[in-house]
Structure 1
Amino acid sequence: MLVKRSSFVVVTFVMMITLLVLTDDSILSGVITFTVIMVGYIIISIKRSKKRLGLLNEKCDPEAFLERTEKQMEITGKNAKLQAYLNVDKAAALVCMGEYQEGKNLLLSIDKSKLSTKNGTLLVFTINLICCLYELGEIAEAEGIFERELFNITLDSVPITKAPFKRAIKFLNAERDYILGKYEESQTAFEELLNEKSDKRTHVSALYGLAKIHEKLGEVEKAKEMYKEVSEEGNKLYIAKVAKRKVEEMD
């Protein structure tokens, strides 16, 4: 990445010199070069972010995602807002690794005033915190946040109409229904998620949710089949490890 960045700087410098020679206008050359640099850095940043998120969402590798996120935090420096955004990502990695208490602690350490409803970071923060609380058995606290905060956040969140955020909310509702013993509603939501076009992590997580329901209802063969697929497709996700153990227990 450092080589690419250095190459980009060299190219823009050469371009500025070329423009200066051709136009003999230092101001125009400077403006054009500055614009190209800004656009270039934005494109590089977007590509880097997409590749980093792909480690979690497509490769199902929260460990690699965590490592890349921590490196990105070093690059970002002391920008408090960007650090808060990246800590939300870091917490997501911990959740996907089954480190729910550590994920909760990290989320609670984040300054929420640095997050935004406009870009969805506050929404993701809240969903991840609720998921941590459910997994830790802190149901009453999770329900309190769900009922007090989540609805208002979704009303104010601009990205709520975007597919990834809609899926995240649907997944949370499906998980909540399961926790509250509403298995029929939970199953319907997980099946809808399973049939939607989504990233691999969402697909595997929905399959895992369905496997839990089938196991709870005593449908062992269906549960085993789904757990097997989760264990094979989930790579380094914590649920893949749990699913593998479930399959072994059911043999």
Structure 2
Amino acid sequence: MTIRKKYLLLSALIDFLIVFTVGIFSLKSENFLFNYLFYPIIFLVLFKINIRLWMHLYSNYMNVLDNELDPEKFIELTENEYDRNKNKKYRNYMKLNLSAGYSSAGKIETAYEKLKEVDLSRKLYRERDKILYYYNEALFLITFGKKEKATEIYNKHILEEIEKIKNNKKLGEIYCSLLKVLEEMLFHENDNEKMIEILNEALKKTKAKRQNLGFKYLLATYKEKIGEIQEAMELYKEVIENGNKLYIVQEAKEKLENINRI
């Protein structure tokens, strides 16, 4: 059963039970004014309950990737969401999630293909998701050795999207650490000390386990570059122990093996 179908069934059941209960109660009440004022309040409550229900179901789905760290299972769930829903806006959004899943599984080329299938002419569920789209596109391009193209994406699109949320303090904090890391990779990649400083700051602000371990793996590579081998090894070990099925687990194992051969 898809998230949307589960949501529709549960919300319909909750709405029916609440409206039915309130309906019986109102029939027993002779206060017309009370009933007149009470129903708008009930509909407002139902609206908030439905929003929370959707957030809960969607959060459980995203936790498969972000906290359970099981990209293959997440891909399977996302493909099910995509295949069994006809809503074009929803299907378009699921391509972003497919890209995230394939990226976390180490299938970078497939992840990039899925990302490029997203139709940006359609309004996404959250306009700020365009920042994530361009952020991921830039990261993929860096991985493919196309740093110049990634820089163009940053200057042309990411800065424009940042401008749209600059007055939103909460959103600014959420994306600040991500974009700082990207900026350093684009403009100061060879400044290892600066990259380490930025990554340490980013780690203080990340909540999702997947993102946290991703930053730790990246931090380990820069620690290794400046000769802080013991610290790098500890970070690689932490990624291996906690990364479950993320592809960076295998990458960290190979890094450790190479260090131990020296």
Counterpart Cα distance in 2 of 1:117 and 1:32: 27
Counterpart Cα distance in 1 of 2:145 and 2:138: 11
For 1:133, give the aligned amino acid. Answer: L
Answering whether residue 106 of structure 2 is matched by residue 98 of structure 1, we say: yes
- Which structure 1 segments of 5+ residues have no match? none
Counterpart Cα distance in 1 of 2:170 and 2:40: 37
Check conservation: 2:71, 2:102, Cα contact below 8 A: yes
Could you say which residue in structure 1 is the equivalent of 2:14? 8
For 1:127, give the aligned amino acid. Answer: Y
Could you say which residue in structure 2 is the equivalent of 1:227? 236
Could you say which residue in structure 2 is the equivalent of 1:181? 190
Instruction: Rate the CA distance shift 1:117–1:147 in 2: closer, same or farther, 3 A.
Output: farther
Shift of residue 121 of structure 1? 0.9
Could you say which residue in structure 1 is the equivalent of 2:3? none
Could you say which residue in structure 2 is the equivalent of 1:60? 69
Counterpart Cα distance in 2 of 1:12 and 1:203: 41
Check conservation: 2:72, 2:105, Cα contact below 8 A: yes
| Equivalent residue for 2:138, pick from 130, 143, 153 | 130
Q: TM-score, normalised by structure 2?
A: 0.79
For 1:165, give the aligned amino acid. Answer: Y
What is the CA RMSD across the aligned residues, in angstroms? 3.0
Shift of residue 54 of structure 1? 2.3
Could you say which residue in structure 2 is the equivalent of 1:214? 223
Could you say which residue in structure 1 is the equivalent of 2:92? 84
Instruction: Rate the CA distance shift 1:174–1:22 in 2: closer, same or farther, 3 A.
Output: farther
SS of 1:114 mapped into structure 2: coil
Q: Percent identity?
A: 23
Shift of residue 167 of structure 1? 2.5
- Which structure 2 segments of 5+ residues have no match? 1-5
Q: How many residues align?
A: 248
Moved more, 233-242 or 49-58: 49-58
Q: TM-score, normalised by structure 1?
A: 0.82
Residues 85-121 of structure 1, C-alpha deviations (whole Å, 9 max, x = no match): 2221221222121121111111111111224596411
Could you say which residue in structure 1 is the equivalent of 2:251? 242
Could you say which residue in structure 1 is the equivalent of 2:178? 168
Shift of residue 227 of structure 1? 1.0
Could you say which residue in structure 1 is the equivalent of 2:156? 148
Instruction: Rate the CA distance shift 1:78–1:190 in 2: closer, same or farther, 3 A.
Output: same
Shift of residue 245 of structure 1? 2.0
Residues 153-209 of structure 1, C-alpha deviations (whole Å, 9 max, x = no match): 11113657423322222232344357x323222111011122345332222122111
